[in-house]
Amino acid sequence: MRIDRRQLLLTGAFAGLSGLLPASLRLAKAAEGVMELTAGPGKHVLYRKDSPPSDLWLYNGTSPGPEIRIKRGVPTRIRLVNRLDEPTSVHWHGIRIANAMDGVSGLTQEAVPKGGTFDYEVLAPDAGTFWYHAHNKSWNQVGRGLYGPLIVEEDEPAFDAAHDLTLVIDDWRLNRDGTLNDDGFRSMMDWSHAGRLGNWITVNGLTNPVYPLKAGEAYRLRLVNAANSRIFELDPKPLDSTILAYDGQPLPEPAALGGDPLLLGPAQRIDLLCVPKAEGTISLREISADPPFEFARFEVSGGSGSLAQAPRLVPNALSEPRLEGAKAVRLNMTGGAMGGASEIVYRGRRLEGRDFFETGQVWAFNGVANMADEPLFRVRKGETVRLETVNNTAFAHAMHVHGHHFRILERSGSTIDERRPWRDTFLIGSEQTTTVAFVADNPGKWLLHCHMLEHAAAGMTTWFEVT
């Protein structure tokens, strides 16, 4: 998972760019009050300004897609218009949404065909930082650019627009000319190892963008990992920040960032409170590289200091798990390269020999690859689920639970945050066991999968049902 400059295909200094997200989708409504989100092919420069553009798949022609801002508890209709040459759908990641609107093709809806439309009714009960992305052949569609930030605003926004910054971080696999390498999205090497890892990092679709800040003023930095498979290791020291929220869920009190690398797994988000103390430059750096890899900068100038006292974020109302009498579920993760021989059943048949290459199924949950006919478990609405995940593979994974947030109870070989913050995606290391708990209070059929998107496609996908 390391980004090594010596392994990069490209050379040359970063270009200093001033980059902002595209205009908010809330300002681009159709006559009947429907927001339109169009998925289609487009061109976008991923490397330097003078590099040729890449052929990507985009929402409304931008990379990332437009920042959607909606109000908590206010129903919003968003119309997906499919201009791709293949079916697609949209998942509203982290939103505890009605099941029929979750956007999982093949489980909660049929994928929207070429030229078709689908109206999503998005009613978000929680304010926070979320994102949206394609959920049909996600390994391909998200990897080509179909994603964007989704911000659910508090009843009274805690920060004004000038002090509320969203940073969508992605890694791309580029050719020597700086264009997207698109000939390996179904590489079995990627699918059976760590996933598709890129060799170039962008923030909001830009190379090393520069954002102006003012000393003494408080900023909310919303970081979103939109990469297919990379776990970003961020250097916390230059930021000198505190943590406001994880995965869209505010902490009761801001927490110290500490000196350890800040790990941000695929699909995870973190909100930081940053109050620059003096004029100068603050770098965002990926520190798994040697030397560290700068991918964004903040230029701090003199400020009024009028916003140094940042407002507190109010935690959302989630039901606390009750462990006594909880439904115990065990998920055993096996397969992948260097994982040793393991039995994998796919569509009712045990795979052997060339079956793995022909089906692409090389990972399994409890011995079963991909969507089984029966759910991993069924549970009645309101019951607590205690999910123990055992990673018997040689790789790390980012496990995402649809429709719910959970608390991490235990993690073998590692300490856990004593506050046990709410999450919707957790990282689990090789040969590690992690136990989480949540109240199954959202009825429907929900996906549970690894958000290393190649791992999900290659078998690490299952589902559960809340009745």
d(CA 199, CA 209): 17
Query: Which of 121, 154, 187 is the last residue in one of the domains?
Result: 154
pLDDT tens by residue, 211-267: 999 998 999 999 999 999 999 999 988 888 999 999 999 999 999 888 889 999 999
Contacts of 30 (CB under 8 A, 6+ apart): 36, 79
Query: Which of 301, 335, 367 is the last residue in one of the domains?
Result: 301
How many domains does the chain contain in total?
3
| One domain, residues 64 and 82 | yes
Contacts of 238 (CB under 8 A, 6+ apart): 282, 283, 284, 285
| One domain, residues 348 and 396 | yes
Query: Which of 154, 178, 213 is the last residue in one of the domains?
Result: 154
Amino acid 20: pLDDT:
54
The answer to whether residue 119 is domain-embedded is yes
d(CA 325, CA 125): 27
Q: How far separated are the first and last CA of the chain, in Å rounded?
A: 39
Amino acid 316: pLDDT:
95
Cα-based angle 136, 387, 107 (whole degrees, multiple of 5): 25
| One domain, residues 148 and 14 | yes
d(CA 126, CA 423): 13
Put the strands of the sheet holding 280-286 in their side by side order: 210-214, 293-301, 280-286, 232-234, 262-264
* Residue 268 and residue 425 in contact, taking contact as beta carbons nearer than 8 Å: yes
Give the residue among 366, 427, 430, 345 at the shortest CA–CA distance from 392. Answer: 430
User: Which segments in the chain show pLDDT lower than 50?
Assistant: 1-19, 27-31
Amino acid 79: pLDDT:
97
| One domain, residues 179 and 150 | no
The answer to whether residue 312 is domain-embedded is no
The answer to whether residue 92 is domain-embedded is yes
Amino acid 9: pLDDT:
32
Cα-based angle 209, 215, 217 (whole degrees, multiple of 5): 95
Amino acid 11: pLDDT:
29
98: how many CB neighbours lie within 10 A of its CB? Answer: 16
The answer to whether residue 238 is domain-embedded is yes
Amino acid 305: pLDDT:
60
| One domain, residues 343 and 227 | no
Cα-based angle 297, 300, 303 (whole degrees, multiple of 5): 155
Amino acid 53: pLDDT:
97
CATH of the domain at 453: 2.60.40.420
| One domain, residues 19 and 121 | yes
Amino acid 350: pLDDT:
93
d(CA 285, CA 296): 7
| One domain, residues 52 and 99 | yes
Tell me the residue range of the domain where 455 lies. 327-466
Residues present in the chain in total = 467
User: Across the strands, what pairs with 57?
Assistant: 41
| One domain, residues 269 and 339 | no
The answer to whether residue 316 is domain-embedded is no
| One domain, residues 137 and 198 | no
The answer to whether residue 308 is domain-embedded is no
